[in-house]
A and B are shown apart, each in its own frame.
Chain A
Amino acid sequence: MSVGLPVLILLTSLLVAFVTFFLPQDRHQVRNALNLGGAVLKLGLVGFMLSEVAQGSIYETRMQFAPGLFLLLRVDALSLLFVSLSAFLWLLTTIYAIAYLRGKPHLSRFFGFFSLCVAATTGIAFSGSLISFLIFFELLTLSTWPLVVHKQDKKSIAAGRSYLAYALPASTVLLIAIVWLESAVGPIEFVNPGDLRQLSDTSLRVIFVLFIVGLGVKAALVPLHGWLPAAMAAPAPVSALLHAVAVVKAGAFGVMRIVLDVFGLDRMAELGLALPLAALASFTILWGSARALNQVEIKKRLAFSTVSQVSYIVLGIALASPFAVIGGLVHLVHQGLMKITLFFCAGIYDERASIRRIEQLDGIGPHMPWTSLCFSLGAIGMVGLPPTAGFVTKIYLGIGAVQAEAFWVLAVLAASTLLNAAYFLPLVYRIWFLEPGQAIVEGPAPTERPTGLIAPAVVTAFAFVAAGLLAASDFSPLAWATLIAERGYLP
Chain B
Amino acid sequence: MRASLAISALVAVPLLSALLAAVWSQRGAMCATGGLLGVMLALMVLLLPDTGRGMTSLAVGEWQPPLGIMLRADGLALAFLVMSACVMAAVLFSARRVPADPGQTGEGRRQWAFWPLALLLWSALNVVFLSRDLFNLYVALEMLSLSAVALVALDGKAEAVAAALRYLMFAMMGSLAYLLGAALLYSAHGTLDLALLADLRLGELGLAEQGSGTGSVGGTRHDGLREGGAVNVLAAGLMTAGLAVKTALFPFHAWLPPAHAGAPAPASAMLSALVPKASFVILMRLWFEALPGLASAALLASLGTLGTAAVLYGSLMALQQVRLKLVIAYSTIAQIGYLFLVFPLAGGDTFTQPWAAGAWTGAMFQALSHGLAKAAMFLCAGVWIIAAGHDRLDGMRGLVAETPMTVFAFALAAVSIVGLPPSGGFTAKYLMLTAAFASGQIVWAAALLLGGLLSAAYLYRPIALAFARRDEADFAPVPRVLQVAPLLLATAAILLGLVSQPPFSLLQIGLPASAVEGLE
Contacts and interface: CB of A to CB of B under 8 A. Distances in A.
Nearest to A149: B467
A135 B355 contact: no
A67 B516 CA distance: 14
Contacts of A65: 427, 497-501, 504
Interface in B462-520: 464, 467-469, 497-501, 504
Interface string A36-61: 00000000000000000000000000
30 contacts: A21-B408, A64-B501, A65-B427, A65-B498, A65-B500, A65-B504, A66-B361, A67-B358, A67-B504, A68-B358, A68-B434, A69-B430, A131-B421, A135-B426, A139-B421, A142-B415, A146-B467, A154-B468, A164-B456, A168-B456, A169-B453, A172-B449, A175-B449, A176-B445, A179-B437, A183-B433, A183-B438, A184-B437, A184-B438, A186-B355
Interface string A170-193: 011001100110111011000000
B469 A152 contact: yes
A179 to B, nearest CB: 5
B431 interface: yes
Given A68-B358, A139-B421, A146-B467, A179 B452 contact: no
Given A66-B431, A149-B464, 5 more contacts: A64-B501, A66-B427, A138-B420, A171-B420, A183-B353
A379 B469 CA distance: 36
Interface in B373-420: 400-401, 404, 408, 411, 415, 418, 420
3 shortest A-B CB distances, which residue pairs? A183-B437, A152-B469, A135-B421
B91 to A, nearest CB: 25
A224 to B, nearest CB: 16
A160 B400 CA distance: 16
Contacts, number: 96
A66 B504 contact: yes
Contacts of B400: 152
Contacts of B401: 106
Contacts of A68: 355, 358, 430-431, 434
Contacts of B498: 65
A397 to B, nearest CB: 35
B435 to A, nearest CB: 8
A23 interface: no
Nearest to B354: A67
A183 B434 CA distance: 5
Nearest to B361: A66
Interface in A136-150: 138-139, 141-142, 146, 149
Nearest to A70: B501
Interface of B: 353-356, 358, 361, 365, 400-401, 404, 408, 411, 415, 418, 420-422, 426-427, 429-431, 433-434, 437-438, 445, 449, 452-453, 456, 460, 464, 467-469, 497-501, 504
Contacts of B355: 67-68, 186-187
Contact of A69 (B404, B456, B460, B500): B500
Contacts of B433: 175, 179, 183
Contacts of A186: 353, 355
Contacts of B361: 66
A153 interface: yes
Of B365, B408, B426, B453, most buried by chain A (CB within 10 Å of CB) is: B426
B439 to A, nearest CB: 9
Nearest to A151: B469
A106 B404 CA distance: 10
A356 interface: no
A367 interface: no
Of A141, A146, A175, most buried by chain B (CB within 10 Å of CB) is: A175
A21 B409 CA distance: 13
Contacts of B452: 172
B5 to A, nearest CB: 32
A202 to B, nearest CB: 15
A28 interface: no
A164 B459 CA distance: 12
A187 to B, nearest CB: 7
Given A66-B501, A68-B434, A139-B421, A109 B404 contact: yes
A134 interface: yes
Interface in A199-242: none
Nearest to B434: A183
A97 interface: no
Nearest to A186: B355
A157 interface: yes
Contacts of B356: 183
Contacts of A430: none
B434 A134 contact: no
A152 B468 contact: yes
Contacts of A106: 401
Interface string A312-330: 0000000000000000000
B453 A152 contact: no
A68 B433 CA distance: 12
A161 interface: yes
Contacts of B438: 183-184
Given A134-B421, A138-B420, A138-B421, A179 B467 contact: no
Nearest to B499: A65
Contacts of A180: 437
Contacts of A187: 355
Contacts of A175: 429-430, 433, 449
